[in-house]
């Protein structure tokens, strides 16, 4: 039985990861400041003797008395709308937060896995994106609090690895979706499903020709665990390479929800990447990992979960 710290463990990906780590027989310490995470995501775990919740922000110093074998760092806002509202906090969770966690890893002799992002590639000039691509990021743009701090987090961990032999892993997560996405978090899948289920207009930014590649949550969780238990240090892309335009996604959500929502076109946000598709040949070959859940199936599961939310049932969509 391992003791595993999940920073950001009450969030969307973090809470699913906690679930799986508990099922696999581990002790889990979940640390979250509940900024975007929510107690509802972990309430079924709170009575489990192998699960402990600590309400704390990774930016602030902390001490953990238990032995720790592994640490996952998922403690960051990830929705562009969200992180642009809290740019300082976002930049610090991926820099100071990462520094706090790697120091803890060194003290406890633990492995630290840092969740970086496909946004490290910025507006990519290579398509699909391989890990060897250095990216094309606006260092002072409105997304930079997120993408540059994730890039710094990667650089910081490589520095600790080279200088102090810290045991680190880096994954670059591409757009991920599933139950527990916050309906109001502003990201495309939560917006479209919420809008479709409440028969409000589906808001496509720009002409909807930009592309994204969406990975279902269960696939992401298995990839994270496989990476943690591997010998690889260098960044690995985790995502589903099936690429869709945002217009295609809107049409799919509308059809799967039987919605009467009109599709409307709004202004494209600044620095919005035009395309994004992971090259996952490295994760396939080195980890033996590949996504299993196709978009239609994953959307169906996510839509069923959204339908149960009081805000959707009451049709106010908050
Ligand atoms: N998007 C959209 N309508 C929305 C929300 C997002 O058309 O209501 C677009 C957004 O401009 C971007 C894509 O969907 O091109 C994915 O946006 P998201 O915020 O989910 O994440 P990103 O991949 O940009 O980090």
Domain count along the chain: 2
pLDDT tens figures, 203-250 = 999 999 999 999 999 999 999 999 999 999 999 999 999 999 999 999
**101 lies in the same domain as 190:** no
Residues 6+ apart with CB under 8 A from 13: 74, 115, 173, 176, 217, 220, 221, 224
E strand or H helix that includes residue 164? helix 144-164
Which residue has the CA at smallest separation from atom 25 of ligand 1?
80
Residue nearest to atom 4 of ligand 1 (CA): 188
- Residues of the chain above pLDDT 70, percent: 99
The pTM for the full model equals: 0.97
Find the 241 Cα to ligand 1 centroid distance in Å. Answer: 17
Same domain, 183 and 172: no
Residues 219, 185 share a domain: no
Each residue of 28-44: pLDDT tens digit? 999 999 999 999 999 99
Residue nearest to ligand 1 atom 21, measured at CA: 187
Residue 313 pLDDT greater than 90, yes or no? no
Structural domain contains residue 284: no
Question: How many angstroms does the Cα of residue 277 sit away from the middle of ligand 1?
Answer: 14
Comparing CA positions, the residue from 60, 72, 225, 234 lying closest to residue 154 is 234
- Tell me: do 203 and 261 sit in the same domain: yes
- Please report which confidence band the pLDDT of residue 315 belongs to, taking 50, 70 and 90 as the band edges: confident
Separation of 62 CA from ligand 1 center, angstroms? 35
How far is Cα 32 from Cα 75, in angstroms, rounded to an integer? 7
* Cβ pair 183, 249 in contact under 8 A: no
Distance from Cα 188 to the centre of ligand 1, integer Å: 4
Report if residue 193 sits inside a domain: yes
Q: What is the mean pLDDT of the chain?
A: 96
Provide the 10 A C-beta neighbour count for residue 281: 13
Please name the residue whose Cα sits nearest to atom 6 of ligand 1.
188
Same domain, 34 and 68: yes
Does residue 262 share a domain with residue 165?
Answer: no
What's the average model confidence in pLDDT over 56-82? 96
Ligand 1 centroid–CA 297 distance in Å is 20
User: What residue ranges line ligand 1, CB within 6 angstroms?
Assistant: 79-80, 175, 187-188, 191, 203-205, 210, 212, 246, 269, 272
* Chain mean position to CA 237: 12
**How many contiguous H segments (helices) and E segments (strands) does the chain have?**
10, 13
What is the arithmetic mean of pLDDT over 127-142?
97
Contact status, residue 92 vs residue 26, Cβ threshold 8 Å: no
Q: Which residues are catalytically annotated? A: 146
Atom of ligand 1 nearest to the CA of 195: 8
Q: pLDDT band at 317, cuts 50/70/90?
A: very low
Residue with the smallest CA separation from ligand 1 atom 14 is 188
268 Rama sector, left if φ>0, alpha if ψ -120 to 50, beta otherwise: beta
Q: Whose CA is nearest to atom 22 of ligand 1?
A: 80
Q: Average pLDDT of 171-190?
A: 96
Other Cβ atoms less than 10 A from the Cβ of 163: the count is: 8
Residues spanned by the domain of 167: 3-176+215-238
Residue 168's pLDDT band, with cuts at 50, 70 and 90, is very high
DSSP 283: I
Pair 202, 264: CB distance under 8 Å: yes
Looking at residue 318, its pLDDT comes to 46
* Ligand 1 binding pocket mutation candidate from 174, 188, 201, 265 (most atoms within 8 A of CB): 188
Residue 18 has pLDDT above 50, yes or no: yes
Ligand 1 centroid, distance to 187 Cα (angstroms)? 6
Q: How far apart are CA 42 and CA 46, in angstroms?
A: 7
- Rounded distance, CA 166 to CA 232, Å? 13
Q: Is residue 64 part of a domain?
A: yes
**Dist. CA 226–CA 23, nearest whole Å:** 15
- Looking at the structure, tell me whether residues 160 and 190 fall in a common domain: no
- Please write the tens of the pLDDT for every residue from 268-280: 999 999 999 999 9
Cα separation, 102 vs 167, whole angstroms: 9
User: What is the model's pLDDT at position 314?
Assistant: 82
For 176, 177, 250, 283, 296, the CA distances from 12, given in Å and listed in that order, are 9, 9, 22, 22, 20
Q: Any idea what the CATH number is for the domain that residue 172 is in?
A: 3.40.50.720
For residue 24 the two structure tokens come to 């696999």
Residue 239 to residue 220: CA distance in whole angstroms: 7
Atom of ligand 1 nearest to the CA of 205: 7
């Amino acid at each position: 039985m391992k003791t595993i710290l999940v920073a950001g463990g009450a969030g969307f990906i973090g809470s699913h990861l906690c679930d799986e780590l508990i099922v696999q027989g581990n002790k889990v310490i979940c640390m979250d400041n509940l900024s975007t995470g929510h107690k509802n995501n972990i309430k079924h775990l709170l009575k489990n003797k192998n699960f402990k919740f600590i309400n704390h922000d990774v930016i602030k110093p902390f001490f953990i008395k238990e032995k720790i074998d592994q640490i996952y760092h998922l403690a960051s806002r990830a929705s562009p709308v969200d992180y642009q509202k809290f740019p300082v906090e976002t930049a610090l969770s991926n820099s100071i937060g990462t520094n706090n966690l790697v120091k803890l890893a060194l003290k406890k002799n633990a492995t630290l896995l840092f969740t970086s992002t496909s946004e490290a590639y910025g507006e990519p000039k290579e398509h699909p994106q391989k890990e060897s691509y250095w990216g094309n990021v606006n260092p002072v743009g409105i997304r930079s609090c997120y993408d540059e701090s994730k890039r710094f987090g990667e650089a910081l961990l490589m520095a600790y690895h080279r200088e102090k032999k810290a045991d680190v892993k880096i994954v670059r997560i591409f757009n991920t979706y599933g139950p527990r996405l916050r309906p109001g978090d502003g990201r495309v899948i939560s917006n479209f499903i919420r809008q479709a289920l409440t028969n409000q207009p589906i808001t496509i930014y720009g002409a909807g020709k930009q592309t994204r590649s969406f990975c279902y949550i269960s696939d992401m969780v298995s990839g994270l665990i496989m990476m943690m238990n591997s010998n690889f240090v260098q960044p690995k892309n985790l995502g589903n390479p099936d690429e869709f335009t945002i217009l295609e996604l809107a049409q799919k959500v509308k059809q799967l929800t039987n919605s009467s929502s009109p599709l409307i076109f709004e202004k494209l946000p600044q620095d919005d990447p035009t395309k994004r598709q992971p090259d996952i040949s490295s994760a396939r070959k080195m980890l033996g990992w590949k996504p299993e859940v196709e978009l239609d199936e994953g959307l169906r599961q996510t839509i069923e979960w959204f339908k149960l939310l009081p805000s959707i049932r009451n049709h106010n969509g908050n």
